Amino acid sequence: MIPVNDLEGLKVLITGASSGIGAAAATAFSRVGAEVTLHYNARRDAAESLAAALREEGGTVHLVSGDVTRADDAEDIVARSVAMMGGLDCLVNNAGAIGRTPSAGFDEAVYDQVFDLNTRSVLRLVGHAAPALKASDRASVINLGSIAGHNGGAPGSGIYAAAKAAVHSLTRALAREMAPDGIRVNAIAPGVIETPFHDDTPDAVLEAALNAIPLGRLGVPEDCAWSFVFLASPTMSGYITGQIIDINGGQLMP
């Protein structure tokens, strides 16, 4: 049996990696020998703590800060990451937030904020990362979608759901466009995962979600982490592109 060791030394940039799914993905990548750049915006202490923990385990970890909703910051995040790692093999577009507001009578500022963070940032970062990814022989992009992008989300999350549906569509479009350069593009669409992301989610919404999950529990970040590793591995997923991988305990079965 041949072990899968094609992630050793893989150069990975993960946005929004200070907590939740991003932090879990960073931990998984580091533990299989990848070199990881953790991006953060506001949660500096959490990012530094995670970096220190992974370095203690023997990982090669870098930190980069910036606001992915700002064009100049997005370019700088990628440029500094590529400089620190000496290249880029995998871009994980994980940064995002929900911004709850009724879909009818929505707030223009909330709409712009939600789409800038969840959708436009993906295009910005992919655009800046493309030259480095083209130079890699094991290049991939992994976007963070959502179950909300399939089902419209819970009440108050319609704009977020629309933004994630756009991420799903962009993932497929980018997969077609970047395939000639050997770059695979996929997305992970989590269900309800217990992270700080859901700190403001009403208990009734979480209870309703729990009741609809056949596996009988809400997800945790580690339930998603190793799927990022799978999608970044040329051995395990080298013929997979343009796919949305659903991780939701059976809550949605497309």
Considering the domain boundaries, does residue 200 fall inside one? yes
pLDDT at residue 74 greater than cutoff 50: yes
Task: Please check whether residue 2 lies inside any domain of the structure.
Answer: no
Does the pLDDT at position 98 exceed 50?
A: yes
The reported pTM is 0.94
Q: Which domain holds residue 99?
A: 11-247
- In this structure, is residue 3 part of a structural domain? no
Is residue 27 situated within a structural domain? yes
Residue 178 lies in a domain: yes
Distance, in Å, from the CA atom of 110 to the CA atom of 134, rounded to the nearest integer, reads 35
Q: Tell me what pLDDT residue 157 has.
A: 85
pLDDT score recorded for residue 197: 63
CATH code, domain with 220:
3.40.50.720
Residues 85-92 have a mean pLDDT of 98
Contacts of 56 (CB under 8 A, 6+ apart): none
Q: Is residue 134 part of a domain?
A: yes
Whether pLDDT at 9 is above 70: yes
pLDDT at position 132 over 80? yes
pLDDT at 1: 44
Q: Which residue has the tokens 């871009």?
A: 91
Mode of pairing for the β-strands spanning 140-144 and 35-40: unpaired
Q: Is the pLDDT of residue 195 over 80?
A: no
The rounded distance, in Å, linking the Cα atoms of 77 and 68 is 8
Where in the sequence numbering do the catalytic residues fall?
160
Beta strands in 66-156 (DSSP E): 90-93, 140-144
pLDDT, position 89: 98
Over range 232-236, report the average pLDDT: 97
Residues 214 and 250: beta-carbon distance below 8 Å? yes
Mean pLDDT over each residue of the chain, to the nearest integer: 93
Asked, for residue 252, whether it belongs to a domain, the answer is: no
Quote the number of domains for the chain: 1
